[in-house]
Amino acid sequence: MEKNVFDAIVVGAGPNGLAAAITLQRAGLSVLLLESKDTVGGGMRTQQLTLPGFYHDVCSAIHPMAMASPFFASLPLQDYGLEFVHSPLAAAHPFDDGHAAFLSRSLEDTAAALGVDKKIYTSLIAPISRHWEAIAADSMGPFRLPRHPLIMADFGRNALLPAAVVAARFSTPAAKGLWAGMAGHAIQPLTNWTTAAIALVLCAVGHRYGWPVPKGGSQAIAQAMAAYFTALGGEIRTRVHVTAPEDLPSHRAVLFDVTPRQLLAIAGDRFTPLYRCQLSRYRYGAGIFKIDWALQEPIPFKAAACRQAATVHLGNTFEEIAFAEQQVHDGKHPANPFVLLAQQSLFDQRAPAGRHTAWAYCHVPNGSVTDMTSIIEKQVERFAPGFRDIILDKHTMNTHEMEAYNPNYVGGDINGGIMDIRQLYTRPVLSLSPYRTSAKGMYICSSATPPGGGVHGMCGYHAAKAVLKDLKIDN
């Protein structure tokens, strides 16, 4: 007989939906996880997008925050087949003169390669890497009084600043460029407040944990999480499209791994007018244009460091990257965009013997349908002459196609809403408990809640904790 009564239902099986389901199931609840697609994963999926035998990560590809997440650290996912692969260098940043700055597991080696900026880089990053667990506990969740106030005060004095302000402390183009590439993950102008935070964190966790690739593709993370959840007794149903609360079996609580636009469409009539108004004002950020390539051979980067890194940031100088990100913010398409490139197949088998894959995207205005293929390939060719000659096939996704693939990517926004200072801790609304909606028993657990985008599961974890508190379950 089909079970139709559950303690909790989670709608959406992305990293946060899976995290919420696992947290609730571990607390002893009966949990049903619903997913509209054939497989779980959300942004963690791997498919043959180009040629047979070439496996591409559809969305997320490199996972430093999975390693740095307190939630993921609590999971025995290695027992369910998950294995991470580390490239010799976490990331590389090439310049027009043929050399490259890099991020390695060794903070000392990274800093030493920056010459006269060694001391400044070390003073910025070493304390964060050393105290990461305390910083993560206080920052990867809703706003609250810190448990480690002195450590957080030291972190905050730089993290709250615009990346451009911190960049001014460096003297060399290498250090400035490396910093710009890290800050570019914020997907907003580098003059915005708090953009330094993402650069600080990515550098620090890179030294602490590396920037790993899941063996076999990002789908491996989702598969391991799903296997663990079902081993705990949870139930997963795929190909279930929820359009209204009435579609759901009986439950005590429901958590939605969706962003405000979808939540309003599903359950807007259940909310107070004030809450509906707040959700309607939620702001989405820039989108992305993504390409996957099937390649005849490895990308022929001029800089040796680029051939040792799974992640390569293409943008040359700080000034060039900052200009490109500002153009996107202003609704324009840069002629020389900041390109984030991953070459997983150098370190993990993703293609037939001797062949390779590559994955890349650039930022574009939200909702753009402009084809950036030639512009991105020109930027790769700039640092790897001959790149175009080794392309066997390609697959592209503009912002509309990204959103069609994953409705959480509204207008191609992969962060579930812009993560600027106005919306960093007011996701999706200003509230002491941002995971609760105005409807009793209804919660939101997506990247539109703190701490925001990324494969770390912390949004789902904190939402589940709010459910357990409301149900008065000791956990």
Is the per-residue pLDDT at 9 higher than 60?
yes
pLDDT of residue 2: 52
User: Over the range 83-109, which residues count as b (16 or more CB within 10 Å of their CB) and which as e?
Assistant: ebbebebbbbbbbeeebbbbbbbebee
Query: Where does the pLDDT of residue 33 fall: very low under 50, low under 70, confident under 90, or very high at 90 and above?
Result: very high
Is the per-residue pLDDT at 109 higher than 70?
yes
pLDDT of residue 1: 32
Are residues 116 and 209 both part of a single domain?
yes
pLDDT of residue 80: 98
Are residues 194 and 327 both part of a single domain?
yes
Is the per-residue pLDDT at 94 higher than 90?
yes
Question: If you average pLDDT over residues 311-316, what whole number do you get?
Answer: 98
| Burial zone of 163 (CB within 10 Å; 0-12 exposed, 13-18 middle, 19+ buried) | buried
Q: In what order do the strands lie in the sheet with 339-342?
A: 100-103, 89-94, 309-314, 339-342, 356-364, 287-295, 391-397
Is the per-residue pLDDT at 237 higher than 70?
yes
Question: If you average pLDDT over residues 247-259, what whole number do you get?
Answer: 97
Take residue 380 and report the two structure tokens written for it.
């790769």
Closest CA to 314 of 338, 349, 293: 338
- Return the residue matching tokens 């950020």: 285
Residue at a domain's end among 359, 378, 405: 405
User: Over the range 18-38, which residues count as b (16 or more CB within 10 Å of their CB) and which as e?
Assistant: bbbbbbbbbbebbbbbbbebe
Q: How far apart are CA 363 and CA 63, in angstroms?
A: 19
Cβ pair 343, 299 in contact under 8 A: yes
What mean pLDDT value characterizes the chain? 97
Residue 463 lies in a domain: yes
Is the per-residue pLDDT at 364 higher than 70?
yes
Take residue 303 and report the two structure tokens written for it.
């800089």
Q: How many CB atoms lie within 10 A of CB 439?
A: 16
Residue 424 lies in a domain: yes
| Burial zone of 440 (CB within 10 Å; 0-12 exposed, 13-18 middle, 19+ buried) | exposed
Query: How many degrees, rounded to 5, is the angle at CA 383 between CA 369 and CA 114?
Result: 115
User: Over the range 395-416, which residues count as b (16 or more CB within 10 Å of their CB) and which as e?
Assistant: bbbbbeebbebbebbbbbbbbb
Are residues 376 and 395 both part of a single domain?
yes
pLDDT of residue 3: 63
Question: If you average pLDDT over residues 353-382, what whole number do you get?
Answer: 98
Residue at a domain's end among 352, 378, 405: 405
Q: How far apart are CA 348 and CA 26, in angstroms?
A: 32
Is the per-residue pLDDT at 141 higher than 60?
yes
Closest CA to 322 of 460, 173, 184, 174: 184
Residue at a domain's end among 349, 383, 405: 405
Are residues 241 and 368 both part of a single domain?
no
Cβ-proximal residues to 99 (8 Å cutoff; 6+ apart), any chain: 174, 303, 305
pLDDT in tens, 169-211: 999 999 999 999 999 999 999 999 999 999 999 999 999 999 9
Cβ pair 323, 334 in contact under 8 A: yes
Are residues 300 and 400 both part of a single domain?
yes
Residue % of the chain over a pLDDT of 70? 99
Q: Give the domain CATH number at 444.
A: 3.50.50.60
pLDDT of residue 375: 98
pLDDT in tens, 150-180: 999 999 999 999 999 999 999 999 999 999 9
Residue 161 lies in a domain: yes
pLDDT of residue 4: 77
With 0.85 as the threshold, say if the pTM is over it: yes
Q: How far apart are CA 90 and CA 306, in angstroms?
A: 10
Q: How far apart are CA 35 and CA 423, in angstroms?
A: 27
| Burial zone of 13 (CB within 10 Å; 0-12 exposed, 13-18 middle, 19+ buried) | buried
Are residues 321 and 202 both part of a single domain?
yes
Cβ-proximal residues to 240 (8 Å cutoff; 6+ apart), any chain: 34, 35, 36, 247
Are residues 305 and 354 both part of a single domain?
yes
Are residues 37 and 123 both part of a single domain?
no
Cβ pair 11, 463 in contact under 8 A: no
Residue 70 lies in a domain: yes
- The helix or strand, by DSSP H or E, that contains position 23, with its residue range, turns out to be helix 15-26
Cβ pair 47, 114 in contact under 8 A: no
pLDDT in tens, 120-130: 999 999 999 99
Take residue 421 and report the two structure tokens written for it.
């200072």
Are residues 200 and 317 both part of a single domain?
yes
Q: How far apart are CA 41 and CA 107, in angstroms?
A: 33
CB-facing half-sphere around the CA of 33: CA atoms within 13 A: 36
Residue 176 lies in a domain: yes
Q: Which residue range(s) make up the domain with 187?
A: 84-213+286-405
Number of folded domains in the chain? 2
Residue 158 lies in a domain: yes
Residue 410 lies in a domain: no
Are residues 160 and 178 both part of a single domain?
yes
Are residues 347 and 389 both part of a single domain?
yes
Coil, strand or helix at 448:
coil
Residue % of the chain over a pLDDT of 90? 98
Query: Where does the pLDDT of residue 474 fall: very low under 50, low under 70, confident under 90, or very high at 90 and above?
Result: confident
pLDDT of residue 342: 98
- Return the residue matching tokens 């037939």: 352
- The helix or strand, by DSSP H or E, that contains position 364, with its residue range, turns out to be strand 356-364
pLDDT of residue 320: 98
Residue 52 lies in a domain: no
Are residues 131 and 41 both part of a single domain?
no
Question: If you average pLDDT over residues 449-471, what whole number do you get?
Answer: 97
Q: Give the domain CATH number at 344.
A: 3.90.660
What residue type is assigned to position 386 of the chain? G
**For residue 328, how far is the Cα from the chain centroid?**
19
